[in-house]
Structure formats: structure tokens, C-alpha cells
Amino acid sequence: MPAALAAWGDGRAPGEYQVLADRPDGTLVRHGDTVAKAHAGDSDREALAARLRIAGASALAGVLLPPLRTGAVHGRPVSLWPYGAPVDPERPEDAPWEEAGRLLAVLHRTPPDVLPVPLPPMRGPAKLARALDRLARAEPLGAEPGATRAVRAAARSLPAWARAEEPPPPGGALCHGDLHLGQLVRYPAPAGAWLLIDVDDLGLGLPAWDLARPAAWYAAGLLDTATWLRFLDAYRAAGGPAAGPPGSDPWPELDLAARALTVQTAALSLAKAAHGGRRLDDEERLMVDACARIAALPADLESEPPP
């Protein structure tokens, strides 16, 4: 697939190219100043086509990186994108937390009726359901029984819609669906404006879901208070609707989504550890421990962030 994808992106024999990722849910190949992506073979083609059109909408210029073209290779949907410079993993102090918050706020404030096509559902709950399924399939490989029970108990504390077992509540906003720092690039590279990439999960949903990963990291002790507040304050200053007004407690609005992302992250960590025949690392253990705390909460009590 990588060579065929590079050839499709370049329009001729690919020559040298760089494989950025090669997984069943996405293969990415850089060739010169472009990146070709093969999306998951089981993608909902109609919903993906809508998401790709939305990524190129003029209303979202300066927020989402727009695709150059789309097509198919070996039966998989593919798209071509301009190359953007990613966050440098060797310089975490330079991570664009404020820009991430600002971009999310603009995305969440975008009225659906200015977009070229109707919004498909945001895929956050579907990703949580897939993570729990991966954990179930990893159990025979030796996933830790006690940790697995804690993750399942935390999952049961969530409403059925958050596990994709029922339709989501009506309403919502335009959401990215899978926000993390790997979803931001500078374009034009290497020093252009920060833009959001990867629209495979984009759609109509609970905007708090896009804040859930940093909120979950903060609650688990993986993100320091100063960084969390930089992100949160930037989101609020840009008019983001999902965390209450500046100066208020954001947790009542973020709690559910943060618990959902904690469960998702812990389930994937256990599954990956079982498949790799290894023990959880320290960060993975913190997420599993957070699930144990969630599972121990009274049913009518929302979890609280760390002091």
C-alpha cells in the first residue's frame, strides 16, 4: 500500500517517499511537499466524503488544513494533503496548547448551516466502543484482569450513548472528534499558522469531547496545572462554548467527556500491552488508576479534577 499510495499522490512512479504511518485505520506517505492518506478500509464512505468536503469549506479556512484531492487506491478511500510541519516531540515546551484551544473554539462556534454538506455524527463515542472491543479481544492474550475490571466498571458508569450503544443527545456543535497535539501542523511548513488535521472523526457532537483528552490527562496527573490553564483559558477567550465562561468551574461540563477519554485511553493501553507481551508503563498505569477511581464513585457523584 505505501508505494501505491505514494504513486497515486505523485501521479507517477513515486521514487523516494517516507512512510509516516501504516496501520489498518490509516496509512500516510509523504512525498515531497504532499502527504497521501489511505483511510480505513471499513470507513463509511459517504460520511468520509462529507468530512473531506467540510475540511475544504471556506468557512473553516485557517482552522482545518484543506485536502488537495481525493480518490481510491486498492479499494481504500484516499486523500492528498499539503505537508504541514508537526509538533516537535523533542520540544514539549513548544507545544501549541493555546493555538489548539483557539482553533477548537472557532471550530465549535462554526454554524453547521454555513458548511457545504450536512454534518455526519462525530465519531468520539464510536472510538470509545472500538477501544473497549479491542480490550475484550486482548483478554485471552493476558490483559491484566484487575485493570480490565476497573476499565469496564468505569465504562459502565458512562451513559449508553457515550459508548455508542444509543443515539447521542440531539443538538451539538461541529467537533474534531479526536483532538491531540499530533493533530496540529504548521502550514506552510515550517513556520506557518497552526491548523487542525485528520478529519476522519469530525462531525456533529458534544464539543466537550474535543477538550476531553487534555482534561483527562490533567485529572490523571499527566498534564500540569499551568499547561491545562493555558489551553483552557485560550479556548474560553476565543469564545469556546464547552467549558463555561472565564473564571467558572469547567468540570461540570467536561467531566463526562473526560471520563470517556480516560476509559478509552486505558482500554487501548491494556490492549496494546497485552498484544506486545509487556507491562503497562507509568503513564498507562496512571490512566488505569484513574479508571479505578471513576469506578469507585457513587453513581450520582461526578468525578472531580485533582486539587
Tens of pLDDT, residues 121-166: 999 999 999 999 999 999 888 878 999 999 999 999 999 999 999 9
The answer to whether 42 touches 77, Cβ cutoff 8 Å, is no
Cell of 183: 493533530
Residue 273 falls in which region: left (phi positive, over 0), alpha (psi -120 to 50) or beta: alpha
pLDDT at 302: 46
CA-wise closest residue to 180 among 100, 288, 264: 100
In the block, which residue shows the cell 501549541? 96
Quote the CA–CA distance of 222 and 214 in Å, as a whole number. 9
Give per-residue pLDDT as tens, 201-249: 999 999 999 999 999 999 999 999 999 999 999 999 999 999 999 999 9
First to last CA, the chain: 48
pLDDT tops 90 at residue 303: no
Sequence spans of domains, the chain? 2-82, 86-296
Nearest to 261 by CA among 203, 202, 218: 218
What is the rounded distance in angstroms from the CA atom of residue 137 to the CA atom of residue 141? 8
Task: Fill in the DSSP letter of residue 44.
Answer: -
Burial of 294 (0-12, 13-18, 19+ CB in 10 A): buried
Residue tagged 464547552 (cell numbers): 242
| CATH architecture assignment, domain 86-296 | Alpha-Beta Complex (3.90)
Query: What's the grid cell of residue 173?
Result: 456543535
Cα gap 171→162, rounded to integer Å: 15
* 15: exposed, middle or buried (Cβ count in 10 Å: 0-12, 13-18, 19+): exposed
CATH of 2-82, one of 3.40.190.10, 3.30.200.20, 1.50.10.10, 3.40.50.2000: 3.30.200.20
Rounded mean pLDDT, 190-201? 96
pLDDT for the residue 105: 98
